[in-house]
Structure 1
Amino acid sequence: MLYATSGRQAEAEKIRTTPLRQPDDPEAEAFRAIVLVGPTAVGKTAVAHQIARLTGDDVLCADSMSVYRGMDVGTAKPTTAMRHQVRYFGLDLIEPDRPFSVGQFYEYCRTLYREGKIRSDHLVVVGGSGLYIKALTHGLDPLPPASAALRRRAREIYEAGGVEGLLAELERVAPELIPSPRDERNPRRLMRALEIAWQGVRPPRSWHQAKTRGVVVGLDCPRQLLHQRIERRVDEMLERGLVEEVRTLRERYGRLSPTAASAIGYAEISDYLDGRLT
């Protein structure tokens, strides 16, 4: 919280050291930004917004759920008033019934840079999704586009055998693509890894071996306070109409994309609307 409350632009300038290009890109050292990460409800967006107001920077939201249109309350997107004060990117990029990958997000950011819409030393990145942040700080190797047929095949394995079924198939076809221990129970990561493996892509993405250059600032607070903030956020989301938002999305789109449907809060409200939760 220091950088939001100090009122000193110099404090923000000290951490503007993180390159957002691929490691082998000759311009990697030229593009730098402030990058803020931290747990849910710690106040990342508020801090990023205050830094941007102090420095005149733009804000890039690196969050895999904020890219979906209509998913506003449950993703705690910046308010309309905040967007009038600071220019935001990374929001409302796609309909929630469509898939959206980290590769698409990465290309979106590169396009912003090529078109001059974001500027080096004038950007605050706030996440969000660790994979999105890591793509920006480490880069991504080229990968084949998502395949609907292969994704259905992977989902069938998951529905039949769960995470263990996905791991077993990945161990059989491409054990080198098994995610790190922290992510090896994440079905979305495993299904995407299988999709890549079935297309014959080797080896894994280069950022698994790359070293981060620059500084990523992590925000934190005492656990008890964080739990209180999370509980308060949940209450506020319900008061602001999260149930109605989920109901409207279901009526408008029918079935959401697997990623959007699994968003924390949205999955639980859907179960509530279906009578599986009270």
Structure 2
Amino acid sequence: MSDLLPPVICLMGPTASGKTELAMHLADRYPCELVSVDSALIYRGMDIGTAKPDKDTLLRYPHHLVDILDPSESYSAARFRADALELTRDIVARGRIPLLVGGTMLYFRALAEGLASMPAADVGVRKEIEQIAASEGWQGVHARLAAVDPEAAQRIHPNDPQRLQRAYEVYMLTGISLSEWHRRESIEKAEAKGSHDNFLPYTMHYMSIAPLERRVLHDRIASRFDVMMRQGFLEEVESLYARADLNPSLPSIRAVGYRQLWDYLDGKLSLDDSVERGIIATRQLAKRQMTWLRGWKAEIDWFDSLDPNRFDQALKRLERIAI
């Protein structure tokens, strides 16, 4: 282990890329404690649709920050940062290595850089929105915005392309609505007041695992969604739907897959359409995650999900950096 600052491993990647499997292999070799960086795994009773590790796996490889909240509760990037820093300090104090694993890139960024403002404009995403406007009109962009951020859509006129573009751009980049960003901004600033020193007293090692070809990831997402449906994903959402204290405005129900099946139970979609939209939403999430990763400021070690030597390569990389 390095004589410098204590090491922290951050294992990132898009959904369905094999992060948990790689994390378990690393934990078999090193004295790691796993910390989940996933905004959906925090919820109890949301197991199938989040691809939460099963009970046997969690017994063998315990994950911090899994099953810590009821779906009726909310969680913020500021709260994650505070929780993750406390856990990291405790894990290091025990002489072990924190291994943060997940795909909620906003949480990783909050940890690495502190609480940041909304993302800057992205030329590629703006071109994509302009292409949508060219084929569907700005009314079409407004309709898409209304589906993910009804509050902003109500405020922004369909003939206001500049504001429409920015609001939809923020969602495409982060998976979080502009309205939610505004709500969190004031809360997170209050929670982080007096804690604006972003220096982390650790040596941060960033790793990412993903298939080299986007088509492979798309196929894996579709296959996994099919498996989840056969495992009882719909029944899981039905149990949530039956609760009087849950509704589609909550972050838990807005999770990909859950909100589409909720629409089916609401009678807004057929089951086939809700499944298809769930798969599409998951692929869009993976695309946003890859956008975040490609724009990551620190160096990342990349591993191919389909490379049979990926586990050995990751171990050798950690050996070279003296963990």
Calculate the TM-score normalised by the size of structure 2. Answer: 0.59
> 1:219, CA displacement in angstroms?
1.0
1:227 to 218, 224, 227: 218
The count of corresponding residues between Structure 1 and Structure 2 is 227
Q: Deviations over 1:185-218 (max 9, x none)?
A: 768452244336778x69xx9799x9xx743112
List gaps (5 residues or longer) in structure 2.
117-148, 271-323
AA aligned to 1:258 is: L
Q: Separation in 1 of the partners of 2:171 and 2:6?
A: 29
The 5 A counterparts of 1:46-65 are 46-65=21-40
Q: Separation in 2 of the partners of 1:186 and 1:220?
A: 18
1:134 to 92, 109, 114: 109
What is the RMSD computed on CA atoms of the aligned residues?
4.0
Q: Separation in 2 of the partners of 1:271 and 1:47?
A: 34
Q: Secondary structure at the match of 1:137?
A: helix
Q: Separation in 2 of the partners of 1:273 and 1:89?
A: 32
Q: Separation in 1 of the partners of 2:157 and 2:49?
A: 26
Contact 1:61–1:89, Cα closer than 8 Å, also in 2: yes
> 1:139, CA displacement in angstroms?
2.9
Are residues 1:268 and 2:243 paired? no
2:208 to 200, 218, 226: 218
Q: Secondary structure at the match of 1:252?
A: coil
> 1:33, CA displacement in angstroms?
1.6
> 1:163, CA displacement in angstroms?
9.8
Q: Deviations over 1:73-95 (max 9, x none)?
A: 11111111111211211101111
1:51 to 1:112, Cα distance in 2 relative to 1, 3 A = same
Are residues 1:237 and 2:228 paired? yes
Q: Secondary structure at the match of 2:23?
A: helix
Q: Separation in 1 of the partners of 2:21 and 2:153?
A: 39
List gaps (5 residues or longer) in structure 1.
1-12, 17-28, 142-154, 170-177
AA aligned to 1:158 is: A
Contact 2:10–2:204, Cα closer than 8 Å, also in 1: no
1:39 to 14, 20, 24: 14
2:178 to 190, 214, 218: 190
AA aligned to 2:216 is: L
Q: Separation in 2 of the partners of 1:126 and 1:255?
A: 28
1:239 to 1:187, Cα distance in 2 relative to 1, 3 A = closer
Q: Separation in 2 of the partners of 1:183 and 1:274?
A: 24
1:265 to 1:113, Cα distance in 2 relative to 1, 3 A = same
1:55 to 1:61, Cα distance in 2 relative to 1, 3 A = same
**What is aligned with 1:147?**
none
**What is aligned with 1:92?**
67
Q: Deviations over 1:163-204 (max 9, x none)?
A: 989x959xxxxxxxx89x6657768452244336778x69xx
Contact 2:170–2:178, Cα closer than 8 Å, also in 1: no
AA aligned to 1:92 is: D
Q: Separation in 2 of the partners of 1:156 and 1:32?
A: 43
Calculate the TM-score normalised by the size of structure 1. Answer: 0.67
AA aligned to 1:216 is: Y
1:99 to 1:64, Cα distance in 2 relative to 1, 3 A = same
1:198 to 1:69, Cα distance in 2 relative to 1, 3 A = closer
1:182 to 1:189, Cα distance in 2 relative to 1, 3 A = closer
1:162 to 1:245, Cα distance in 2 relative to 1, 3 A = farther
Deviates more, 1:49-58 or 1:93-102: 49-58
AA aligned to 1:160 is: Q
> 1:134, CA displacement in angstroms?
1.1
